[in-house]
Amino acid sequence: MKIFCSRANPTTGSVEWLEEDEHYDYHQEIARSSYADMLHDKDRNVKYYQGIRAAVSRVKDRGQKALVLDIGTGTGLLSMMAVTAGADFCYAIEVFKPMADAAVKIVEKNGFSDKIKVINKHSTEVTVGPEGDMPCRANILVTELFDTELIGEGALPSYEHAHRHLVEENCEAVPHRATVYAQLVESGRMWSWNKLFPIHVQTSLGEQVIVPPVDVESCPGAPSVCDIQLNQVSPADFTVLSDVLPMFSIDFSKQVSSSAACHSRRFEPLTSGRAQVVLSWWDIEMDPEGKIKCTMAPFWAHSDPEEMQWRDHWMQCVYFLPQEEPVVQGSALYLVAHHDDYCVWYSLQRTSPEKNERVRQMRPVCDCQAHLLWNRPRFGEINDQDRTDRYVQALRTVLKPDSVCLCVSDGSLLSVLAHHLGVEQVFTVESSAASHKLLRKIFKANHLEDKINIIEKRPELLTNEDLQGRKVSLLLGEPFFTTSLLPWHNLYFWYVRTAVDQHLGPGAMVMPQAASLHAVVVEFRDLWRIRSPCGDCEGFDVHIMDDMIKAG
């Protein structure tokens, strides 16, 4: 069987269709995942094993057989934990076939084939009955369906279906409960990842300001969560405006709803400031008493920061409020957590949401195009005034009043800098319709639509007519291209420079003029876990086959 997959060629920037073998999904999806990081997460493994062992004991104490349903089994680790803890049988569900095949081999290698049945289906397709995948409902539900946002991998719909069709009423669940926490902060650095700030350009005629279009300024931003290692963010980069607030909890042992909901918490700001960002994380309690807890809390909210488990498969969340709002110390407000079946978002209310009919229930989405073209690090780059000043300083050394400038980066504002510095004629090549539309809006907001020429073409297709018969004296790039997945993919600029060579005049300048790629061999304290082969799993004596993950 032949599989054709589309990929962006970082050299040419074009989308190409490549033939892959039947193992494509295995290599791509598993190698890019964090399976190894999860399996090296000792805290996670120990807590799960303790919780599973306690759940099995509670069922046995009632004189019942322990029948376990493991949804999203992955390597089969939690199922093997359950059998080792005394479970009579375990149904391990895994929808991703390459992973299910690996789980079958791992279960067999560890001698659990007689007590674990791997089912290669989505849990919503699993049937119960004499002719079904399971002869009867399970009385212990074990899952690890969580992502950094908790519900982003479809945990709520999966739990909802499982309680209705696959497990007994009031079953034991591991984890038993999850709680989502939030903290309101002011952070100019993080806020710069979501909004386009006015950009100041110092020219010989005085300061010029590049202002964002109105719809970009009012846009709530990208709908996806910004997951981050908050422990790596300097405390100097944000000001805490609220205590840590428990926003909502989910009891996994009872019927779970995937319907949209909102949960509010009243609080009094700890200090006055600008409410911009909500930092959020969660913990899971493996037992009903809450004695076995696994937390994602950053160091300042952790009960034992010296013994924190490093992990990259679960991090913390940064959510951006739709607009920044002033808050006054001691003046009560309501932080509201909204969620649907897959996503969480936050809003700030002056009155109790139950009394406010205008509470936004729909998930905010980008309607300005900027957040679709520029990712959050890119917003941070554009908003970096020091970076802008350095570009201006460099441009001053090469620009002349009669210069003809051609900018070849995606969605770049260098063309605006060049214009404000007095260049006679500026062209910018935008190969995508999205970047073309966004730049046209920015130019219009700054009254530049008739002063900078936008060419919607791939650079290699440029003609003399596109450049109005002019020869380019300055080829300019940041470089930044939306097709680049890794930093060195931006060397696409090298290809572009070659493609437009015929349009360069005698003595034309190219900026940047050179690039170098540096590498250094390091020893990581923690990051090696992401791609490390797995032998014996930390915290649990079971062997995970080394060839399970093709990473490295």
Minimum mean pLDDT among 9-23, 162-176, 280-294: which range? 9-23
Question: What is the H or E stretch that residue 338 is in?
Answer: strand 333-339
Beta-sheet strands, E only, within 32-128: 67-71, 89-93, 116-119
CB 330, CB 269: distance < 8 Å: yes
Distance CA 299, CA 308 (A): 8
Q: What is the percent of the chain where pLDDT is above 70?
A: 88
pLDDT of 26 higher than 60: no
Query: Residues 334-370: pLDDT tens digits?
Result: 999 999 999 999 999 998 886 544 445 678 889 999 9
144 is catalytic: yes
Average pLDDT of the chain, as a whole number: 90
Mean pLDDT of 513-522: 88
Our measurement of the distance from residue 54's CA atom to the centroid of its chain's CA atoms, rounded to an integer in Å, reads 34
DSSP states along 152-214: TTSHHHHHHHHHHHTEEEEEEEES-EEEEEEEEEE-HHHHTTTSPPPEEEEETTEEEEEPPPH
Q: pLDDT value at position 526?
A: 83
Query: Residues 471-482: pLDDT tens digits?
Result: 999 999 998 888
Listed residue (77, 480, 486, 34) closest to 229, CA to CA: 34
Q: pLDDT value at position 356?
A: 47
**Which residue in the list 22, 108, 153, 449 is annotated as catalytic?**
153
What is the total residue count of the chain? 552
Mean pLDDT of 89-102: 94
pLDDT of 177 higher than 60: yes
Q: pLDDT value at position 261?
A: 92
186 is catalytic: no
Minimum mean pLDDT among 34-48, 155-169, 213-227, 505-519: which range? 34-48
Q: pLDDT value at position 549?
A: 36
Minimum mean pLDDT among 9-18, 118-127, 176-185, 208-217: which range? 9-18
Question: Buried (b) or exposed (e) across 242-279, using 16+ Cβ within 10 A?
Answer: bebbebbebebbeebebeeebbbbebebeeebbbbbbb
Distance CA 415, CA 403 (A): 12
pLDDT of 547 higher than 90: no
**Which residue in the list 144, 149, 172, 186 is annotated as catalytic?**
144
Mean pLDDT of 365-389: 94
Query: Which amino acid type is present at position 536?
Result: D
Q: pLDDT value at position 546?
A: 42
pLDDT of 221 higher than 80: yes
Mean pLDDT of 371-379: 93
pTM to 2 decimal places: 0.90
